Amino acid sequence: MSGWTIGIIGGSGLYDVDGVEDGAWVDVASPWGEPSDALFRGRVGHVRVVFLPRHGRGHRISPSELNARANIDVLKRVGVTDVLAISSVGSLAEARPPGSFTIVDQFIDRTKGRPSSFYGSGMVAHVSMADPVCPRLSALAAEAAKAAGAQTHVGGTYLAMEGPQFSTRAESELYRQWGCDVIGMTAMPEAKLAREAELPYALVGMITDYDCWREGEDAVDVAQVIQQLSANAVKARALVMHLLRSLPVERPPSPIDTCLDTALITAPHARDPELLAKLDAVAGRAL
């Protein structure tokens, strides 16, 4: 595949990107409903960039109310080839302090009630999530995070909780016993949907707090989170520019580009035309 179009999904604290040339906000419709916001499209050198503020400009959408299907669909619809997600997270490990970044490589999904697939009755698909992130893009993000001056941990398990409330102390301790490293509210089903849309996905977790598992320390609150967000956002913007400027001119193919070749199971004669029409962007290549 020739050329990169990097989709950047910005989480809490990262609502825009600097240094993008020829940038403009564009509205893109989706058959899956309303995305979080318009898309900011432009380029950095030879790399095309599409930015989507996950919670909308002004942080107006709750984690439980995000339309992740529409968000991934519109990114795919405008030609995004790879997705870099940047999210604020809490730390479940002493060695991952506030201000540090974690390049996530695994997830445990504890969300509930969120539509988590583009597929269903009339067009069934089962993608593999054994390795849920793109190792190539994750490695590039790790190098960019280090170049941006962030203390960076390569690898880590992200516990996706429903929210919008923060954890109880019992939950926080349980997730630590499970071996989780960071906790957040937005990466699921986002990562699953990116895989279903054949989009290589990487996630940078910007740590804002220690959740509530540490004895003798106040529980996390919004004021504490906001205080750390600003410092994290400066590093995140630098990370994005380092990553975009380091990409080679030609984008080598990824196995994720064609993962639907071994995932679609419904026989052609049994497929629902109405659902197929909605899948035109995310699965059009395979259908």
CB atoms within 10 A of CB 255: 12
List, in order, residues 6 or more apart from 144 with CB less than 8 Å away. Answer: 239, 240, 242, 243, 246
With a threshold of 0.85, does the pTM exceed it? yes
Domains of the chain: 5-278 (3.40.50.1580)
Pairing of strands 21-26, 157-161: unpaired
Can you read off the two tokens belonging to residue 59? 């942080």
Q: Is 209 a catalytic residue?
A: yes
CA distance 182 to 197: 25
What pLDDT shows up at residue 1? 46
CA distance 117 to 195: 10
Q: Is 211 a catalytic residue?
A: yes
Catalytic residue among 181, 211, 221, 280: 211
Helix (H) or strand (E) holding 6: strand 5-10
Catalytic residue among 73, 82, 109, 209: 209
CA distance 8 to 207: 18
Q: What is the mean pLDDT of each run of 10 residues along the chain (287 residues)?
A: 88 66 95 97 95 93 97 98 96 96 98 96 98 97 97 98 94 97 98 98 95 78 74 90 94 96 97 98 96
CB atoms within 10 A of CB 224: 15
Q: How far is CA 79 from CA 143, 146, 198, 207, in A?
A: 25, 29, 12, 30
Q: DSSP secondary-structure letter at 264?
A: B
Pairing of strands 5-10, 82-91: parallel
What pLDDT shows up at residue 165? 94
